[in-house]
């Protein structure tokens, strides 16, 4: 087969290749090209983004979508007409969009990956201006696609709930976590502590700074623990880029006089991320909604206990290895943090079960299952 994959999210100049959908596309593609020598892959990039040649293989061909400058002025024409015409000219057997939408005018066979439907749950979590995507592009894509990949069983049920898609059209393919051999030796703990001004034991949370991630609830829970002398020795490290409506988070830290206790790193490299995870006493991931929640597994792989939300996909990803809390109750988050950090036996149990849970997820398995989906189309 001649399989086309939209790779425009991979080398995002603002966030690097290891953020969000770009992270998914990068590792899925890397493993597909390793395991599949029978099919030919055509990889479509935006010409303004460099380093696409990193994916040149015997079984791959790099192509660039034309006229990217028109997207700013004519977004619909570019994304759904010009791109569709260009794809049709490539005479693909199958086109895979890893980012929720396929050009509406594209008539060929397609597979689409849906990561989450958070905007349908609560539009207030997102900036305005996405009506076309939510009302037309995504619904039309999932109805017209030959197969839909959902990154969790929870996301699959959301697709059925919101769009009425038949169960057998949706296949769950879990995200992977990087091979431990690739990440165990990256990053220097001493250097990363100095780099970010970390002077004490610390709790970490990794997520974009936006309302859906419940960073404000985490900060309030952390603040409520300061009355205990045990927690005076802890800092809270929040690693992630500034997202929509992030200003309230910084205002809260100032209001609670936590500027020396709460550290914002901004976007961090892979090396720094795994060094921080390895050194942290605990990952707290109290999001209101996740389609998957990769940070949970990354922390478990680095032998760090995890406290996460008891809703959406997070119990599915954490399994029996995480401690689940109610993200809508700050006191529940605080109790979870306190329970883990004051019980060394529990910490060791969570570390062991976390390592076992993380081993259930790999990008190679994700690629193998995705290849099966391609063959079913």
Q: 184: domain CATH number? A: 3.40.50.2000
367, 310: one domain: no
Residue with tokens 């596309």: 25
**pLDDT tens digits, residue range 248-283?**
999 999 999 999 999 999 989 888 999 999 999 999
Is 371 found in the same domain as 295?
no
If asked whether residues 78 and 191 sit together in one domain, one would say no
**205-245 pLDDT, tens per residue?**
999 999 999 999 999 999 999 888 889 899 999 999 998 88
**Are 129 and 33 part of one and the same domain?**
yes
Looking at the fold, whether 236 and 319 belong to one and the same domain comes out as: yes
> Number of helices and strands (H, E) in the chain?
18, 13
Q: Residue 40 has what pLDDT?
A: 98
CA dist 19 and 72 (Å) reads 23
| pLDDT tens-digit readout, 164-205 | 999 999 999 999 998 766 655 555 667 899 999 999 999 999
Most confident of 31-40, 49-58, 134-143, 262-271: 31-40
Q: Are residues 105 and 233 in the same domain?
A: no
Q: What three-state secondary structure class fits 147?
A: strand
Statement to judge: residues 226 and 243 lie in one domain: yes
Question: How many domains in the chain?
Answer: 2
Measured between alpha carbons, how far is 98 from 141 in angstroms, rounded to an integer?
12
Structural domain including 116 reads 2-176+362-376
Q: Name which of 76, 171, 192 is nearest 372 in CA terms.
A: 171
Kindly calculate the radius of gyration of the chain based on its CA atoms and give it in whole angstroms: 21
Give phi and psi for 91, each to the nearest 5: 55, 55
- Helix ranges (DSSP H) in the chain: 20-35, 70-73, 75-76, 83-89, 118-121, 131-132, 138-144, 153-163, 180-183, 189-196, 215-224, 247-255, 270-279, 294-301, 314-318, 330-341, 344-358, 363-376
Say whether both 242 and 260 belong to one domain.
yes
Q: Is 167 exposed, middle or buried, given 0-12, 13-18 or 19+ CB atoms closer than 10 A?
A: exposed
In terms of domains, do 157 and 248 share one?
A: no
Could you tell me if 137 and 101 are in contact, meaning their C-beta atoms sit under 8 angstroms apart?
Answer: yes
**Are residues 199 and 130 part of one domain?**
no
The DSSP string of 152-182 is SHHHHHHHHHHH---GGGEEE----B--HHH
pLDDT of residue 69: 66
Residues 148 and 189 in one domain: no
pLDDT in tens, 308-356: 999 999 999 999 999 999 999 999 999 999 999 999 999 999 999 999 9
Percent of the chain exceeding pLDDT 70 equals 92
Rounded distance between C-alpha atoms, residue 206 and residue 281, angstroms: 14
Residues 293 and 320 in one domain: yes
Token couple for 343: 């019980």
SS3 83: helix
């Amino acid at each position: 087969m001649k399989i086309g994959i939209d790779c425009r999210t991979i080398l995002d100049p603002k966030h690097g290749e290891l953020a969000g959908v770009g992270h998914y596309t990068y590792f899925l593609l890397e493993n597909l090209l390793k395991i599949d020598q029978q099919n030919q892959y055509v990889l479509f990039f935006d010409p303004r983004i460099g380093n696409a040649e990193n994916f040149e293989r015997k079984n791959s061909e790099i192509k660039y979508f034309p006229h990217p400058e028109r997207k700013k002025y004519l977004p619909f024409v570019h994304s759904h007409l010009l791109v569709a015409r260009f794809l049709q000219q490539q005479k693909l057997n199958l086109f895979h969009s890893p980012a929720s939408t396929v050009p509406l005018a594209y008539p060929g066979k397609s597979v689409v990956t849906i990561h989450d439907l958070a905007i349908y749950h609560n539009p207030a979590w997102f900036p305005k201006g996405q009506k076309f995507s939510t009302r037309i592009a995504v619904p039309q894509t999932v109805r017209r696609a030959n197969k839909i990949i959902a990154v969790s069983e929870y996301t699959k049920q959301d697709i059925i709930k919101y769009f009425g898609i038949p169960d057998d059209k949706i296949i769950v393919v879990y995200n992977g976590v990087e091979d431990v051999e690739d990440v165990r030796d990256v990053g220097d703990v001493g250097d990363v502590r100095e780099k970010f001004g970390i002077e004490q034991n610390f709790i970490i949370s990794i997520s974009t700074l936006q309302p859906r991630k419940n960073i404000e609830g985490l900060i309030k829970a952390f603040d409520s623990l300061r009355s205990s002398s045990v927690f005076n020795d802890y800092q809270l490290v929040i690693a992630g880029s500034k997202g929509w409506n992030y200003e309230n988070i910084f205002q809260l830290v100032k209001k609670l006089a936590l500027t020396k206790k709460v550290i914002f790193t901004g976007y961090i490299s892979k090396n720094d991320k795994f060094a921080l995870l390895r050194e942290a006493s605990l990952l707290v991931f109290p999001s209101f909604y996740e389609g998957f929640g990769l940070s949970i597994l990354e922390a478990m792989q680095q032998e760090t206990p995890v406290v996460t939300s008891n809703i959406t996909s997070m119990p599915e990803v954490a399994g029996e290895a995480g401690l689940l809390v109610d993200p809508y109750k700050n006191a529940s988050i605080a109790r979870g943090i306190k329970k883990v950090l004051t019980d060394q036996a529990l910490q060791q149990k969570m570390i062991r079960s976390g390592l076992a849970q993380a081993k259930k997820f790999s990008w190679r398995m994700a690629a193998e299952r995705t290849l099966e989906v391609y063959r079913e189309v």
